[in-house]
Structure 1
Amino acid sequence: MRHLNLYLKSIVSIFIVTMLFSCKNNFNEVQKIGVSEDQPIGVAEDIDLKHTDSGRVTANLISPKMLDFTNRPFGYNEFPDGVVLHLYDENNEKSTVIADYAISYSKTGLIDMQGNVVLSSHNKDTLFAEQLYYDQNREWLFTNQPVTFRQGRDLINGNGFDSDSKFKQAQVLEIDGIITLNE
C-alpha cells in the first residue's frame, strides 16, 4: 500500500511538472478574453475631442457617444449618435459641421460624416450633403456625393464638393444648376 501511495504521488508530481513546463506566456491572449473582435474595447459618453496644431485648437468634435475600435488593425472610433464638428481658422472664426453618424480613423486623420450633413461656415455659407469627409491633417473637406451649397444668394446643386476648412477655396463639382435667391 505504501508503494502504491508513493507511486501515485510520483505520477501526480510528474503530471504537475509537465503542465507547468508546457504553459506558454500568453499574456496578450489573456488580455483579449472577454473582448469580441466585433465589440468595441471602450464606450465613452459625452465626448469633447480637440485637435490642436502648434497649440491652437483647429477642430473640436462633440458627440453623445463614441465606440472605440482601436484594437483592430486599422483602428477607428465610431460615433453612432451623431457629431458636431467645429473647425477654427487662424483668426479663430468657427465653421460647424453636424451629422447623424461619423467614423474617425486615427491612422489617417480622416473623419467620415454621414446622414443629414450640414456645414455652416463663419461667413454664413452652408453646405447640405448626405456624406462629407474631413481630413484633419490637411484641414480639407470633400465628398463625391450630391450636394447643395448656399453661397451668398446663390444655391448651387452638384455632385461633389472640395474646400479648405476656411471655405476660401470652396468649390461645388459637376454643377447641376444655380438658383439665385431674392432676399
Structure 2
Amino acid sequence: MNNTYQHILKSIVVLLLTTMLFSCQDRLNTVRKWEKGFEKPQTSGEGINLFYTDSGAVKANLRSPRLLDYTHKKFPYREFPDGLEVDFFNEKNQKSTIVADYGIVYSTTGLIDLQGNVKITTSDSTVLNADQLYWDQNENWVFSDINYNIKLNNGALNKGEGFDANEKFDKFISRSNVGIQYIDESEK
C-alpha cells in the first residue's frame, strides 16, 4: 500500500508540473503578442508637410506621403517608407532639393539613410543621382559606397562607386570614377 501511495503522489506531482509548464507557455505566448504591439510605430502621419524655421526664416521644408515614428524604441528613428522630398534654404534663400523613394532618420546619431532614386539638386545646379546615400547631419557630410553620377554646375560629369562630400558639394572625393572634367587654364 505504501508503494501505491508513492505512485499516486508521483503522478500528482507530474500532473501539476505539466499543468504549470503549459500554463507558462500560454503566458509566454500572451507576452509575445504584447511585444508585437511595440513593433508598431509610436505615431504615424500621412500627407506630411513640415517646415523648419530659424528666427522666422524657413530653413527646410519636408514633404512625405507617410511618416512612421519609432522614437519610443531603444534606438529611436523616424521612417519615410513611401519616399520624401526636402527643400533646404541657405542664408541667401537659395533652394537645394533632395528626393528619395525611402528615408530613415536615426535620432541618436543624426544619420539619415536615403534609398531608391536619390536625387540631390543644389542651389548652384549641381545634380547628384544615387541608389543610396547617407547624410551625417552632425558632421554636415554626405557619402555613399555604391554607384552614383554627378553633374557639376560647370558641366563636368562624373560616374563612380563611392564618394564623400560636404553638404555644399564643393569638397567632393570620389573613390573610383570615370568622367569629363573641365579645367580652367586661366588660373595658371
Please give the TM-score of this superposition, normalised by the length of structure 2.
0.69
1:29-88 CA deviation, whole Å, 9 max, x = no partner?
Answer: xxxx69712211211012223445676544332211001111110011110100112222
The alignment status of 1:89 with 2:90, answered yes or no, reads: yes
Match of 1:30 in 2: none
SS at match of 1:168: coil
Task: Structure 1 unaligned segments of length 5 or more: list them.
Answer: 1-32
Q: Give distance in 2, aligned partners of 1:131 and 1:177.
A: 19
Residue 168 of structure 2 corresponds to: 166
Q: Determine helix, strand or coil for the equivalent of 1:36.
A: helix
Cα distance in 2 for partners of 1:51, 1:124 equals 23
User: Structure 1's 72 and 36: CA in aligned 2 closer, same or farther, altered over 3 A?
Assistant: same
Please give the residue correspondences for 1:93-132 in structure 2 after superposition, counting only pairs within 5 Å: 93-132=94-133
**Within 5 A, what are the aligned runs for 1:9-158?**
36-51=37-52, 57-151=58-152, 152-158=154-160
Partner AA of 1:155 in structure 2: L
SS in 2 for 1:158: strand
8 Å CA contact 1:161–1:173 kept in 2: the answer is yes
Q: What is the distance in 2 between the residues matched to 1:154 and 1:118? A: 17
Q: For 1:141, what is the secondary structure of its paired residue?
A: strand
Q: Percent identity?
A: 42
Pairwise CA RMSD of aligned residues? 2.4
For 2:136 and 2:100, how far apart are their aligned partners in 1? 16
8 A contact 1:110–1:133 mirrored in 2: yes
Q: How far apart, CA to CA, are the structure 1 residues paired with 2:97 and 2:115?
A: 15
- For 1:28, the equivalent position in structure 2 comes to none
The Cα of 1:112 is off from its aligned counterpart by 0.7
Paired with 1:60 and 1:38, the residues of 2 have a C-alpha distance of 28
Deviation of 1:156 (Å): 0.2
Q: Which amino acid aligns with 2:168?
A: K
More helix by percentage: 2
- Whether the aligned pair in 2 keeps the contact of 1:158 and 1:176 (CA below 8 Å) is yes
1:123 shift after superposition: 1.1
Question: CA contact under 8 A between 1:45 and 1:65: conserved in structure 2?
Answer: yes
